[in-house]
Structure 1
Amino acid sequence: MATDTLSPPSATGPAITLVDVVKDFGGARDAAAVRGVDLSIGEGEFFSLLGPSGCGKTTTLRMIAGFEEPTGGQILLHGRDMVGVPANKRDINMVFQSYALFPHLSVADNVAFGLRRKRVPRDEIRDRVEKILRTVELTDKADRRPRELSGGQQQRVALARALVNRPRALLLDEPLGALDLKLRQSMQLELKRIQREVGITFIYVTHDQAEALTMSDRIAVMNNGLVEQVAPPQEVYERPATAFVAGFIGTSNLISGHLTSADAGTGVLDLGDGQRVTVPLHGSHRVGAGVELTVRPEKITLTTGPADTASRLRGTVREVVYLGTSTSYTVDTATGAQMTVFQPNDGTAAVDPARGDTVWLSWATAHSYLLTTAPAPTAAAADAASPAPR
């Protein structure tokens, strides 16, 4: 499991801390839904749990909320252990994909519902409801019923209803999943604006990589019950910690090879069939070690002849797909690896190849990133050291 080496943005200490949290629904630990998760989430941070279905992200969120109890580990809210504390005693609110608004109540009454149950004074209820409706830009819809609102407006009512209680953290379980694409993209920006204005901690669960990249201060990428990387969006995208992260976040090309030389932060990677590329070195990569090179499709340039760069491969175009703003090319390289290339449709592309054409793929050395895999299958490498830890 990758460790979280980045400090949360708040200087006041973490809002929520998870220490070796495990959730086992009855099987062995290695088959548990959550397997030893460690996280530190900063005060006022927009933090996303990202991963495919079944990776443990919603189970983790439900344990923070108090709807599930962990099998092991600690969940600390502002330093206080919440394990065993009922959900209604945690000063945390949760927003679900289904908004669960009361159809017979107005927007204002839906938002005020929780405050009335807590017997908050009437004048305070009015003031707090008016303020939060201004924040979510629904003041003019206060007297409407939910059926009179769009999906995005209903989502903002659900958000206002949670925020009006002034929780110390807000948990959101794929709240935009029911919206169409254009509205979902619009609401991503709205959610980030609202979170910035109210200033409380948001923990957001999603399987949508673009959504997480758009809104988050940091992202925890989960896979099979484990956290594989915790980092800001740009670092997760540009410097993935594992092959899974590289493949799950956007589109990435993975090429296996062996490091043949290393000098002053730069190495040469042998990809087979006489193909070699220059790569930047980070961490401890041993000469002779087996590695995977990852490079994003938009970083690659296609030409008809070899470019004047140390990172280039020859290949044959297998498929061409027009995507609107760009065209996607699938290229079978001479190394046997299949690579994807995105070229913008803005008139700047050097070539416009068709299926079956021979092309050269090239990219800046700085756009390569190495992921350590197995050691090289040579006696010298095997005797030199054991495989590097993941």
Structure 2
Amino acid sequence: MATTSTTAPETPDVETAAARQPAISLEGVSKSFRSGSETVNAVDGVDLAIEQGEFFSLLGPSGCGKTTTMRMIAGFEEPTRGVVRLNGQDVTGVPANRRDVNMVFQSYALFPHMSVADNVAFGLRRRGVAKDEIRRRVGEMLELVELGHRAKHRPSQLSGGQQQRVALARALVNQPAALLLDEPLGALDLKLRQAMQVELKRIQREVGITFVYVTHDQGEALTMSDRIAVMNHGRVEQLGTPAQVYERPATRFVADFIGTSNLIKGTVVGGSDGAWRVEVADGATALLAELPAALAAQGSEAAGSAVCLTVRPEKIRIGAERPDEGVSAVPGTVTETVYLGSATHYQVDIGGGETVTVYLQNSSDSTLAADRGDRVWLSWPAHHSYPLLA
């Protein structure tokens, strides 16, 4: 007699499914405040998906909505509209103390009467974790932030950078699903802040926890982030890797806010050899590898259209002779030079009210020594020009 074997239906791998979920999702999130008789939209329709283990930065000027966005993730503010999810679970309306995230602020908020070890252990003791477990986890965390030798010291005996690492260890020892950092390095001097940027990235890699970092400092965001959301007036203007937002800015705001960028107005005059020619001030020609999509769709009819190209100062060559064909060739007059040791910065008037900034590395074989008043030629390849609609 034939027998029929039955196989239990496969059950989904819950852990694998959870791992596929973004660590943090914002879906149409907005936040409005009343200011007298007016309504202020601090955050306006933000959609974000922050991946597991990602170092993600919210970057923008003061008042752009980045801190309000982070506070909604933490649960300190509730969205006026939209949904906040942590690991796929809707936490909109869930209080901050029931969300599996920790937050580190610019002010370290360490307990001055406690030792470094006791500061780090504080949250674990509040949760009733066993003493042996506390000792083990605090020890591991202090070694991670390279402060094991300072465990018995008080916060007042530490430098600003060491205090910031204690605050970081205290937040991480609870093993949150995500760590939120609101301009945590703002109180440090420049050299220490730069050193801490490297340390933060190292620590994030080692613990593998999702970091969401709020900053107005472009250098910080470019140094540490896997991806950056550039915010302005409550909206995300561009989302991408550091290289994408720097090399290919999506809007004028991003081009101007991320580092230094030259924005040069011109008119499309035609295309040849895979590049578009743009007439800029005084009839000089700049080259673009591509046009904005709205103009590219017009084909040859794009000629005569106004366009704005952006090119980074370090991409531009400066010389006394007209460059060969095949590159942008723009003449101008040097109006200012600033020697900065490793590089010299030039301001060059190209006519028509346009000034171009050039960064020239002071390498051992550098022969150019342009002074104010010198006539020079600026040049750069087509692929270093990025187009924006004028």
Counterpart residue number, 2:6: none
Secondary structure of 1:83's match?
A: coil
Deviation of the 1:232 alpha carbon: 0.5
Counterpart residue number, 1:184: 193
Distance in 1 (CA, whole Å) between partners of 2:292 and 2:318 is: 30
Q: So what's the TM-score if we normalise by structure 2?
A: 0.90
Distance 1:346 1:208, change over 3 A: same
Residue 14 of structure 1 pairs with residue 22 of structure 2? yes
Distance 1:353 1:182, change over 3 A: same
Distance in 1 (CA, whole Å) between partners of 2:132 and 2:204 is: 25
Given candidates 31, 49, 58, the residue that maps to 1:49 is: 58
Counterpart residue number, 1:4: none
Counterpart residue number, 2:366: 349
Counterpart residue number, 1:274: 283
Distance in 1 (CA, whole Å) between partners of 2:74 and 2:182 is: 11
Residue 68 of structure 1 pairs with residue 77 of structure 2? yes
Given candidates 173, 178, 197, the residue that maps to 1:164 is: 173
Counterpart residue number, 1:289: 305
Counterpart residue number, 1:321: 338
Counterpart residue number, 1:369: 386
Distance in 1 (CA, whole Å) between partners of 2:349 and 2:281 is: 14
Distance in 2 (CA, whole Å) between partners of 1:177 and 1:128 is: 28
Distance in 1 (CA, whole Å) between partners of 2:39 and 2:356 is: 33
Deviation of the 1:263 alpha carbon: 5.4
Counterpart residue number, 1:202: 211
Counterpart residue number, 1:40: 49
- Number of positions where the alignment pairs a residue of Structure 1 with one of Structure 2: 364
Residue 300 of structure 1 pairs with residue 316 of structure 2? yes
Distance in 1 (CA, whole Å) between partners of 2:107 and 2:114 is: 17
Map of 1:218-297 to 2, 5 A cutoff?
A: 218-262=227-271, 265-281=274-290, 284=293, 285-286=295-296, 287=302, 288-297=304-313
Secondary structure of 1:228's match?
A: strand
Q: Is the 8 A contact 1:220 1:231 kept in 2?
A: yes
Q: What is the identity, as a one-letter code, of the residue corresponding to 2:378?
A: L
Secondary structure of 1:24's match?
A: strand
Secondary structure of 2:20's match?
A: coil
Q: What is the identity, as a one-letter code, of the residue corresponding to 2:177?
A: R
Given candidates 84, 102, 107, the residue that maps to 2:111 is: 102
Distance in 1 (CA, whole Å) between partners of 2:210 and 2:361 is: 37
Q: Deviations over 1:20-79 (max 9, x none)?
A: 111111269994111111111000000000111111111111111111111111111111
Distance in 1 (CA, whole Å) between partners of 2:291 and 2:103 is: 40
Deviation of the 1:262 alpha carbon: 3.6
Counterpart residue number, 2:8: none
Q: Which moved more, 1:287-296 or 1:206-215?
A: 287-296
Q: What is the identity, as a one-letter code, of the residue corresponding to 2:126?
A: R
Q: Deviations over 1:108-129 (max 9, x none)?
A: 0000001111111111111111
Q: Is the 8 A contact 1:313 1:334 kept in 2?
A: no
Counterpart residue number, 1:23: 31
Deviation of the 1:265 alpha carbon: 4.5
Q: Deviations over 1:221-280 (max 9, x none)?
A: 111111111111011111111111111111100001122224575211122432222210
Distance in 2 (CA, whole Å) between partners of 1:104 and 1:188 is: 28
Q: Deviations over 1:354-377 (max 9, x none)?
A: 11111111111111111123xxxx
Distance in 1 (CA, whole Å) between partners of 2:145 and 2:38 is: 43
Distance in 1 (CA, whole Å) between partners of 2:281 and 2:205 is: 50
Distance 1:33 1:348, change over 3 A: farther
Q: Is the 8 A contact 2:74 2:102 kept in 1?
A: yes
Secondary structure of 1:302's match?
A: strand
Given candidates 66, 69, 88, the residue that maps to 1:79 is: 88
- The answer for unaligned runs of 5 or more in structure 1 is 1-9, 374-390
Q: Is the 8 A contact 1:302 1:350 kept in 2?
A: no
Q: Is the 8 A contact 1:21 1:71 kept in 2?
A: yes
Given candidates 83, 88, 97, the residue that maps to 2:97 is: 88
Q: What is the identity, as a one-letter code, of the residue corresponding to 1:231?
A: G
Q: Is the 8 A contact 1:103 1:145 kept in 2?
A: yes
- The answer for unaligned runs of 5 or more in structure 2 is 1-17, 297-301
Q: So what's the TM-score if we normalise by structure 1?
A: 0.90
Secondary structure of 1:33's match?
A: strand
Q: Is the 8 A contact 1:222 1:228 kept in 2?
A: yes
Q: What is the identity, as a one-letter code, of the residue corresponding to 2:348?
A: V
Q: Is the 8 A contact 1:260 1:269 kept in 2?
A: yes
Q: Which moved more, 1:100-109 or 1:357-366?
A: 357-366
Distance in 2 (CA, whole Å) between partners of 1:117 and 1:292 is: 58
Q: What is the identity, as a one-letter code, of the residue corresponding to 1:245?
A: V
